[in-house]
């Protein structure tokens, strides 16, 4: 049987980065992927992280080992590095006695040093054991055919007496609680909540499940909630979301003397698990969890204008888009100011100038450099396959390179968009073109700037001018619209996006150096005369004012003035510090 035939037997298959797969184990299916499948060409390796034996898995599948060429002696990442109890104690901040007291003993596994961890039932009799073979990475081995259970059951009487129990994933977090005399149960895996079904939890009113800040943490919380619900336990399950520590042992190591106080604080901040919706929808996160997480600030290629992600630069033909792109490429590759006065961090730039040739690019670059040293971090390309003909893979290979690319410019979208397919709607085609590029931009933390065209129609909304369907602007994280009249060297750059404050920049083109620069009065770029008069009045008065006063001073209609000032707030030209009062935005100063 080939690997594909085997995978077709599962309704949930999650490909892994190393080419292996995670699926739901048919031998103990609890609705979550825990069976690891690796295709070795001449054999297929199966390993259940919940401890199911190969025989039980094959029986559930209706197969025999000869059908799959199973290698039963291996598990994923099977390199055994070896570890001793003393080494583990030192890494976790315990004494050797602490671990020995709670069932840790030196042994060997496949000829290498290992730790045998004994699981006792409530009466003190060994109910299960497993091996720890390494400090980090692939750490544990279960004996085939054995049934996993909960670690630390000898603490259940104390939990019933105190009416509280802490649930953690793994043994060393549980030991961290034991040495502080805190009743705790450890589960041997994120999806092994079913171990709780055989425990006597009567008298325990509150259970605190420690949700570690990773994908396994969510799986652990869901598994515990499901098991407690199925067992009929009617106490209060509370979820502890750790912040600033990966698990309870790390929380202990940060300040051993204050561990109990820190855990008490975590209990105080815990949330009742009364709504199971988050656990029933894979990947769902509550607003509270979201606020607990820390995310890096977006990487700005051009501060406050162009962040990482998929960006769009649109303008009419011959308006100066390609010159602006080359200005941007030179500024980033050299670390020079963009538009003459915006400081940027230097980095590698790849410019796919797909409508140009080397002669035109050389002439344009020479004029912009104006005698300066040529940028070694700028890479110019004049040919690239369409996205569905190998272009996506080529762009991804570029983004994988080291040192990393800071910005990749594609001039133009029309040169790389998918081959036309009449069976799809225009929206579907546009979305298909951009969704892959946006995914690459977010995966590699880079800015991908697409150059595109505008419609011939006019509109008050600059985004409505972009050629194509709304999928183009909807899929872009940032959009920049470059507009100018045919006879003028002045232009307006409208900037908007998910992480960008909407604004209009006034630009002027220096024909001698082929460079776009700030025009010096960006506050009036593309603004109506009425907006300009309001901004000038605020600058003159230098104070907070209401629409009625503004209308009186400028002899304008009060209702129209109030409506216009609300729009100016949305455009970032005015602020509303309090109800009915306005002031000029810092962007206009």
Domain CATH code at residue 559 = 1.10.10.10
Measure the CA–CA gap between 366 and 39, rounded to whole angstroms. Answer: 54
Which residues are CB-neighbours of 429 under 8 A, at least 6 positions away?
Answer: 417, 418, 420, 421
Residue 216, H or E segment: helix 215-231
Whether the per-residue pLDDT at 232 is higher than 70: the answer is: yes
The pLDDT confidence band at residue 368, using thresholds 50, 70 and 90, is: very high
94: nearest Cα among 222, 207, 180: 180
75 domain-assigned? no
Residues 156 and 119 in one domain: yes
Number of domains the chain contains? 4
**What is the CA 127 to chain-centroid distance, rounded?**
41
Q: Any alpha helices (H) in 342-455, and if so which ranges? A: 358-369, 391-400, 426-444
385 vs 539: which has the higher pLDDT: 385
| β strands within 306-404, DSSP E | 306-307, 309-315, 348-353, 378-381
531 by Cβ neighbours in 10 Å (0-12 / 13-18 / 19+) ranks as: buried
How high is the mean pLDDT of the chain? 84
Q: What is the bridge-based pairing of β-strands 378-381 and 348-353?
A: parallel
Residues 366 and 434 in one domain: yes
104: nearest Cα among 131, 136, 71: 131
pTM of the model: 0.51
306: nearest Cα among 353, 264, 257, 345: 345
The gap between the terminal CA atoms of the chain, to the nearest Å, is 71
pLDDT mean over 53-64: 77
Q: Which domain holds residue 264?
A: 85-292
**Per-residue pLDDT, 341:** 86
pLDDT tens readout for residues 316-338:
888 889 999 999 999 999 999 99
Residues 457 and 329 in one domain: yes
514 domain-assigned? yes
74 domain-assigned? no
Q: SS3 sequence, 486-550?
A: CCCCEEEEEEEECCCCCEEEEEEEECCCCEEEECCCHHHCCCCHHHHHHHHHHHHHCCCECHHHH
Domain CATH code at residue 478 = 3.40.50.300
The pLDDT confidence band at residue 423, using thresholds 50, 70 and 90, is: low
Measure the CA–CA gap between 32 and 239, rounded to whole angstroms. Answer: 20
Residues 362 and 223 in one domain: no
Whether the per-residue pLDDT at 79 is higher than 70: the answer is: no
Measure the CA–CA gap between 24 and 103, rounded to whole angstroms. Answer: 31
Measure the CA–CA gap between 305 and 500, rounded to whole angstroms. Answer: 6
Whether the per-residue pLDDT at 420 is higher than 80: the answer is: no
Domain CATH code at residue 196 = 3.40.1360.10
pLDDT mean over 383-395: 91
24 domain-assigned? yes
Measure the CA–CA gap between 450 and 443, rounded to whole angstroms. Answer: 17
265: nearest Cα among 244, 295, 285: 244
**For residues 208 and 240, is the Cβ–Cβ distance under 8 A?**
yes
**For residues 25 and 48, is the Cβ–Cβ distance under 8 A?**
yes
54 domain-assigned? yes
42: nearest Cα among 16, 21, 71, 63: 71
448 domain-assigned? yes
77 domain-assigned? no
Residues 265 and 349 in one domain: no
For 31-40, 429-438, 449-458, which range has the lowest pLDDT when averaged over its residues?
31-40
Dihedral through CA 133, CA 138, CA 141, CA 147, nearest 10?
A: 140
Residues 159 and 196 in one domain: yes
Q: Which residues pair with 116 in a beta bridge?
A: 105, 131
pLDDT mean over 343-368: 93
Which residues are CB-neighbours of 138 under 8 A, at least 6 positions away?
Answer: 75, 76, 77, 78, 79
Whether the per-residue pLDDT at 348 is higher than 90: the answer is: yes
Residues 197 and 219 in one domain: yes
**For residues 457 and 292, is the Cβ–Cβ distance under 8 A?**
no
3-state helix, strand, coil in the chain (%, to 5): 35, 25, 40
**For residues 479 and 315, is the Cβ–Cβ distance under 8 A?**
no
Measure the CA–CA gap between 52 and 148, rounded to whole angstroms. Answer: 9
Domain boundary among 43, 68, 93: 68
Residues 99 and 11 in one domain: no
Domain boundary among 502, 524, 546: 524
pLDDT tens readout for residues 4-23:
788 888 877 777 766 778 88
Measure the CA–CA gap between 359 and 541, rounded to whole angstroms. Answer: 54
**Per-residue pLDDT, 525:** 52
Say if residue 403 is preceded by a cis peptide, omega within 30 of 0: yes
**Per-residue pLDDT, 178:** 96
Residues 322 and 245 in one domain: no
536 vs 200: which has the higher pLDDT: 200
Output the six-digit token pair for 246. 């990966």
Residues 91 and 60 in one domain: no
Q: DSSP code of 214?
A: S
Domain boundary among 292, 313, 344: 292
pLDDT mean over 384-411: 92
Measure the CA–CA gap between 526 and 510, rounded to whole angstroms. Answer: 19
Which residues are CB-neighbours of 219 under 8 A, at least 6 positions away?
Answer: 32, 190, 191
For 230-234, 356-360, 362-366, which range has the lowest pLDDT when averaged over its residues?
230-234
Output the six-digit token pair for 547. 């629409």
**Per-residue pLDDT, 146:** 73
Residues 339 and 381 in one domain: yes
**Per-residue pLDDT, 68:** 58
**For residues 367 and 513, is the Cβ–Cβ distance under 8 A?**
yes
pLDDT mean over 113-132: 92
Computed on alpha carbons and rounded to an integer, the radius of gyration of the chain in Å comes to: 31
338 vs 461: which has the higher pLDDT: 338
Whether the per-residue pLDDT at 255 is higher than 50: the answer is: yes
Measure the CA–CA gap between 151 and 184, rounded to whole angstroms. Answer: 9
* Cα atoms in the Cβ-side hemisphere of radius 13 Å centred on 237: 21
73 domain-assigned? no
**For residues 54 and 70, is the Cβ–Cβ distance under 8 A?**
yes
pLDDT mean over 442-453: 93
Residues 288 and 430 in one domain: no
Whether the per-residue pLDDT at 516 is higher than 70: the answer is: yes
Q: DSSP code of 384?
A: -
């Amino acid at each position: 049987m080939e690997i594909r035939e085997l995978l077709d037997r599962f309704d949930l298959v999650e490909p892994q980065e190393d080419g292996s797969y995670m699926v739901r184990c048919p031998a103990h299916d609890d609705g979550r992927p825990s069976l690891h499948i690796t295709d070795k060409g001449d054999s297929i390796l199966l390993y259940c992280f919940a401890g199911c034996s190969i025989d039980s898995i094959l029986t559930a599948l209706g197969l025999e080992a000869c059908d799959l060429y199973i290698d039963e002696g291996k598990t994923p990442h099977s390199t055994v590095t070896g570890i001793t109890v003393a080494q583990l104690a030192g890494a976790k901040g315990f004494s050797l006695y602490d671990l020995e007291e709670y069932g840790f003993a030196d042994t060997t596994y496949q000829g290498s040093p290992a730790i045998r961890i004994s699981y006792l039932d409530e009466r003190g009799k060994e109910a299960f054991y497993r091996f720890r073979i390494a400090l980090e990475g692939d750490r544990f081995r279960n004996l085939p055919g054995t049934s996993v259970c909960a670690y630390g059951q000898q603490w259940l009487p104390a939990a019933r007496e105190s009416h509280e129990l802490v649930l953690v994933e793994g043994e060393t977090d549980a030991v961290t609680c034991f040495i502080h005399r805190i009743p705790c149960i450890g589960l041997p895996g994120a999806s092994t909540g079913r171990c709780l079904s055989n425990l006597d939890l009567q008298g325990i009113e509150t259970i605190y499940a420690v949700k570690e800040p990773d994908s396994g943490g969510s799986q652990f919380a869901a598994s515990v909630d499901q098991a407690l619900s199925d067992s009929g336990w009617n106490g209060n399950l509370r979820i502890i979301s750790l912040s600033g520590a990966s698990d309870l042992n790390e929380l202990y190591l940060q300040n051993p003397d204050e561990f109990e106080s820190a855990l008490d604080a975590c209990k105080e901040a815990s949330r009742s698990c009364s709504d199971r919706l988050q656990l029933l929808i894979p990947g769902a996160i509550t607003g509270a969890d979201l606020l607990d997480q820390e995310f890096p600030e977006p990487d700005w290629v051009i501060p406050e204008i162009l962040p990482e992600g998929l960006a769009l630069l649109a303008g009419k033909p011959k308006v100066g888009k390609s010159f602006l792109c080359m200005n941007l490429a030179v500024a980033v590759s050299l670390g020079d100011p963009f538009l003459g006065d915006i400081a940027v961090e230097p980095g590698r730039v790849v410019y796919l100038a797909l409508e140009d040739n080397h002669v035109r690019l050389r002439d344009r670059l020479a004029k912009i450099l104006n005698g300066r040293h040529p940028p070694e971090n700028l890479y110019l390309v004049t040919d690239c396959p369409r996205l569905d003909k190998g272009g996506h893979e080529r762009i991804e290979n570029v983004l994988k390179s080291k040192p990393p690319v800071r910005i990749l410019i594609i001039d133009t979208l029309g040169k790389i968009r998918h081959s036309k397919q009449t069976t799809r709607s225009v929206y579907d085609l546009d979305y298909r073109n951009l969704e892959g590029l946006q995914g690459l931009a977010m995966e590699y933390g880079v800015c991908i700037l697409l150059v595109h065209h505008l419609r011939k129609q006019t509109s008050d909304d600059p985004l409505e001018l972009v050629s194509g369907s709304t999928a183009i602007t909807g899929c872009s994280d940032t959009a920049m619209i470059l507009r100018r009249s045919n006879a003028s060297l002045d232009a307006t750059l409208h900037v908007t996006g998910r992480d960008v404050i909407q604004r209009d920049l006034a630009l002027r083109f220096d024909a001698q150096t082929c460079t776009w620069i700030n025009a010096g009065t960006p506050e009036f770029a593309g603004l109506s005369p009425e907006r300009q008069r309001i901004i000038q009045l605020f600058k003159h008065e230098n104070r907070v004012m209401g629409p009625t006063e503004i209308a009186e001073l400028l002899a304008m209609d009060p209702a129209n003035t109030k409506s216009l000032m609300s729009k100016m707030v949305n455009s970032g030209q005015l602020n509303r510090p309090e109800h009915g009062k306005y002031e000029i935005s810092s962007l206009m100063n």
